[in-house]
């Protein structure tokens, strides 16, 4: 019997440490690491359009629909096949980011954004979403700007009030079932420890250092992959 893989999402605002923590977590879980928007050829092309600082005025609805178009391709061709074959997936952003940025941040009606997300995710819901949260001023010194560093993308340039709305939106989302909020203002290793504890609390495991924990050793129930008809 093959157990379906578990789908773990790392969410949070710009520069909070999602990519850093997604990499560390995927390595500990032995999971497939992927990201949004992106993760497929089509998705990466959509990503470059969405983040292009020279894209000019992009209507929030256009932004939303591009995001969820990239997601449908990603879920269908990368995430679902991995989960079906028993591989865990760690995804750097997913529907939560769309709700936070295009809903709370851009001001599109949340029910419209949620409906678009339901379509774009093809009904896939994360097993656990870890929200990395830190006050904006705590992140100011993290990413060096200027020579040799990447220039801010179109969404990073949206301004402090926009990013405050996004953070507040994420914290609202973080109150939902299936979400765990982790303080991301500490050192990388400390945040990684808390992310692992959050994931282990839901999945029952998080890589070797956590596996020795007695709570974890009881294991999480396995959801079998339904055999395809005719197999």
Ligand X SMILES: Nc1ncnc2c1ncn2[C@@H]1O[C@H](COP(=O)(O)OP(=O)(O)OP(=O)(O)O)[C@@H](O)[C@H]1O
CA end-to-end span of the chain, whole Å?
A: 13
Task: Assess 19 for contact with ligand X (CB under 6 A).
Answer: yes
Q: Which of residues 165-224 bind ligand X (CB under 6 A)?
A: 187-188, 191
Question: Which residues of the chain form beta strands (DSSP E)?
Answer: 7-12, 32-35, 89-92, 128-133, 179-183
- Taking CB under 5 A as the criterion, the residue among 1, 2, 13, 19 binding Mg ion is 19
CA pair distance 112, 94, nearest whole angstrom: 16
Q: Which does 157 bind (CB under 5 to 8 A by kind): ligand X, Mg ion, none?
A: none
Residue closer to Mg ion, measured from CB, 166 or 210:
166
Contact flag: residue 38 with ligand X (CB under 6 A): no
20 binds Mg ion (CB under 5 A): no
Distance CA 223, CA 4 (A): 6
Quick check: 18 binds ligand X (CB under 6 A)? Answer: yes
| Minimum CB distance to Mg ion smaller for 153 or for 172 | 153
Q: Which of 127, 134, 184 is nearest to 8 (CA)?
A: 127
What is d(CA 70, CA 48) in angstroms, rounded to the nearest whole number? 11
The contact set with ligand X (CB under 6 A) reads 12, 14-20, 142-143, 187-188, 191
Chain residues binding Mg ion by CB under 5 A are 18-19
């Amino acid at each position: 019997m093959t157990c379906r893989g578990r789908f773990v999402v790392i969410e949070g605002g710009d520069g909070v440490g999602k990519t850093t923590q997604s990499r560390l977590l995927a390595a500990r879980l032995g999971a497939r690491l992927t990201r949004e928007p992106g993760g497929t050829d089509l998705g990466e092309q959509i990503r470059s359009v969405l983040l292009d600082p020279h894209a000019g005025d992009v209507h929030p609805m256009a932004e939303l629909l591009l995001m969820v178009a990239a997601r449908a391709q990603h879920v269908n061709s990368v995430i679902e096949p991995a989960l079906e074959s028993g591989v865990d997936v760690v995804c750097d952003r997913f529907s939560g980011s769309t709700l936070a940025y295009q809903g709370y941040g851009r001001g599109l009606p949340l029910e419209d954004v949620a409906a678009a997300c339901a379509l774009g995710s093809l009904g896939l819901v994360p097993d656990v979403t870890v929200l990395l949260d830190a006050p904006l001023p705590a992140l100011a010194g993290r990413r060096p700007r200027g020579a040799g560093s990447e220039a801010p993308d179109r969404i990073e340039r949206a301004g402090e009030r926009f990013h405050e709305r996004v953070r507040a939106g994420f914290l609202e989302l973080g109150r939902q079932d299936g979400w765990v909020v982790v303080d991301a203002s500490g050192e990388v290793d400390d945040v990684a420890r808390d992310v692992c504890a959050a994931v282990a609390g839901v999945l029952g495991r998080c890589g070797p250092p956590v596996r020795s924990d007695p709570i974890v050793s009881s294991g999480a129930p396995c959801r079998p992959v339904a055999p395809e008809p005719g197999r």
